Amino acid sequence: MGSSGTGAPLVVLLVEDEPLVRMAAADELEEAGFQVLEAGNADVALAVLEVRSDEVHVLFTDVDMPGSMDGMALAEQVYRRWPHVLLLISSGNARPHPDEIPDHGQFIPKS
């Protein structure tokens, strides 16, 4: 499930400001066969994408984060700059309207 056509694992950029939540999510994604890059906020995520966007297949971001932008603004920037990156947006609080999510993005509520 977590591999590309070449047999290499798909790379997920996980953006979550809560370290314990990020660590647990990264562990689950790695167990599912994905390679995980981690970022604590949108600014770090954009810096990672500036250097490694050709490797990243999926952005998995929380909505509520400190820093210059939240996860929705990050998803919109990634969609515009790196349209090949699939978007997964998650939140325990926010429920974005489908019109707020870039075209090929998906919302996953935190349980």
Show Cβ contacts of residue 88 under 8 Å, excluding neighbours closer than 6 positions: 58, 59, 60, 61, 105, 106, 108
Q: Domain 17-109, what architecture? A: 3-Layer(aba) Sandwich (3.40)
How many other β-carbons are positioned within 10 Å of the β-carbon of residue 15?
29
Regarding pTM above 0.75, the answer is: yes
Tens digits of residue pLDDT in 28-46: 999 999 999 999 999 999 9
Residue 102 in contact with residue 81, Cβ under 8 Å? no
What are the boundaries of each domain within the chain? 17-109
Q: Whole-angstrom Cα distance, residue 102 to residue 1?
A: 24
Tens digits of residue pLDDT in 57-99: 999 998 888 888 999 899 999 999 999 999 988 876 766 666 6
